[in-house]
Amino acid sequence: AQSVTQLDSHVSVSEGTPVLLRCNYSSSYSPSLFWYVQHPNKGLQLLLKYTSAATLVKGINGFEAEFKKSETSFHLTKPSAHMSDAAEYFCVVSDPRYSTLTFGKGTMLLVSP
């Protein structure tokens, strides 16, 4: 079975400061990993994905994530937060044996001026 743990339900940062959203996963096979973002009253937008190529993955809007197999982690980072980054972020794992995605509970990112 596969699972995803997002360690923080809420993260608060000030505009211009770094962002770190933590994610740990469990999967029996080599997983694919994703980060999705959901702005209020909007759908789920793919930020970035890891599919067994480079371990440091760059996504949209300046976000990136590093796949660390030894730590079973896939933390999301951004050097400098912007007000428009305020949203809920979901870490997601895909097991290649199945057609489904398993979502974490989400982390709400709050950005203050």
Partner 1 sequence: EPEVTQTPSHQVTQMGQEVILRCVPISNHLYFYWYRQILGQKVEFLVSFYNNEISEKSEIFDDQFSVERPDGSNFTLKIRSTKLEDSAMYFCASSERDSSYGYTFGSGTRLTVV
- Is 96 a residue that touches partner 1 (CB under 8 A)? yes
The binding track of 42-61 with respect to partner 1, each residue x by CB under 8 A or -, is: xxxxx--x-x----------
- Is 108 a residue that touches partner 1 (CB under 8 A)? no
* DSSP 8-state symbol, 54: -
Phi, psi of 72 (to 5 degrees): 45, 50
Mode of pairing for the β-strands spanning 10-14 and 107-112: parallel
Q: How far is the CB of 7 from partner 1 (least distance, A)?
A: 15
CB-CB contact of 57 with 65 (8 Å): yes
The residues of the shown chain that bind partner 1, judged by CB under 8 A, are: 32, 34, 36, 42-46, 49, 51, 90, 94-96, 98-106
